[in-house]
Every structure is written in C-alpha cells, then in structure tokens.
C-alpha cells in the first residue's frame, strides 16, 4: 500500500479534462517496470492562451526482459492550466531518446543543420546565419533574414546530444522579440 501511495497523490495534480483522457489505471500502468525517475532538465516555455508549458527531460531506471536494468531517457512537454487558485497538469507528452542513431547519423538532430537546411535551403529565409551560442544545454541561433528582419531560434540539447527546436522569434519594428512558428514543410510544398 505505501509503495503505491505517491501515485494517487500525483494523479490528483491532473485537471478534470486530463482525467478523461488518461484513466488512473492507464496512468498507473505507465510506471510498470520503472524503478526510479530523475528530472534532469526543466524549463518554462512562453505561455500560450492560459496554458503554462514546460520542457522536461527525464532519466529512468527500468527493468528489462533480459533480467538487467538500464537507464532510459525521455524528453517532452508538460502543460499546466490554472484551475481556481491551483495549477494542474492538463497534458503531458514524452518521447524516448535514441542513443544509437540520433547524435551522429541524422542532420535533423543538429541545430545548425536544421536551421541551415530547413529555414535556409528549403524556406530561403536566411541571408546570414550568425555563430551559434551555447549556455549549458540551451543553444541559440540568430540569423538575418532575406526580408532584413532578425530571427532567433532556441534549441535544447538532450542528454544524447540531439538538439530539439523549442522556440522561434522574429524581431518586430520596435526591437521586441515576437514568438513565431515557421513551418518548413510548407516551404517545400510551395
């Protein structure tokens, strides 16, 4: 009983809408085989329409069918929503990290390549890409657009060295960074 005690307490942090999407049994089963979880990264992202989003990265110790344990890493997003005077979890999305392929085999995992290929080659938006700045696991890439505007892309570097695009900004006429979303897939289709 005491081993299961934290689960109902933690489930209470969900909004009523999230209860409808994830039953208690589904929630409980999501921890099957997991012996321990560490929160290794957490950053607040810009608020969106009453939602307070966070980026997270987790390290877990999990059992396997081979009779050994292993470390597994996940990154994702948690969205909080204000319910009366409390903030509750309204959504969580987690993605497993790949340690065999991700860091060295695909350009999609490298921030500089993503910006150069997707926003430069595909969208034709880059006049000049400035040197990447890195502070811990936060990478920022600035570039001057073909439209003369300044752009800023923020990536988080995961434990497996994959860079994940977090935010895109464009400087407005008053010198303020405005959050934007450029979809490079649309550039290719056009």
Residues whose CB falls within 8 Å of the CB of residue 85, separated by 6 or more in sequence, listed in order? none
Whole-number pLDDT of residue 4: 66
pLDDT digits (tens, 9 = 90+) for 111-137: 999 999 999 999 999 999 999 999 999
Q: Is the dihedral angle over the CA atoms 173, 144, 140, 91 positive or is it negative?
A: positive
Compute the CA torsion angle 128, 105, 133, 80 (nearest 10 deg). Answer: 110
Question: Is residue 138 within 8 Å of 154, Cβ to Cβ?
Answer: yes
Mean pLDDT of the chain: 91
pLDDT digits (tens, 9 = 90+) for 64-79: 888 899 999 999 999 9
- 2: pLDDT confidence band, cut at 50, 70 and 90? very low
Cα of 103 vs its chain's centroid, Å: 16
* Percent of the chain whose pLDDT exceeds 90: 70
Instruction: Please count the residues of the chain.
Output: 190
């Amino acid at each position: 009983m005491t081993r299961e005690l934290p689960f109902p307490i933690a489930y209470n942090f969900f909004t009523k809408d999230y209860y409808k999407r994830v039953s208690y049994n589904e929630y409980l089963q999501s921890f099957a085989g997991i012996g321990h979880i560490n929160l290794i990264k957490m950053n607040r992202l810009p608020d969106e329409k009453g939602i307070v989003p966070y980026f997270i990265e987790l390290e877990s110790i999990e059992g396997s069918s081979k009779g050994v344990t292993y470390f597994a890493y996940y990154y994702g997003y948690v969205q909080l929503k204000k319910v009366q005077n409390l903030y509750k979890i309204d959504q969580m999305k987690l993605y497993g990290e790949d340690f065999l392929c991700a860091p060295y085999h695909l350009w999609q995992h490298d921030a500089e390549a993503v910006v150069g290929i997707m926003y430069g080659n595909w969208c034709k938006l880059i006049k000049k890409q400035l040197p990447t700045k890195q502070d811990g696991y936060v990478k920022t890439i600035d570039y001057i657009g073909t439209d003369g505007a300044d752009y800023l892309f923020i990536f988080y570097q995961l434990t497996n060295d994959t860079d994940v695009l977090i935010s895109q900004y464009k400087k407005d006429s008053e010198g303020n960074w405005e959050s934007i979303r450029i979809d490079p897939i649309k550039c290719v289709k056009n």
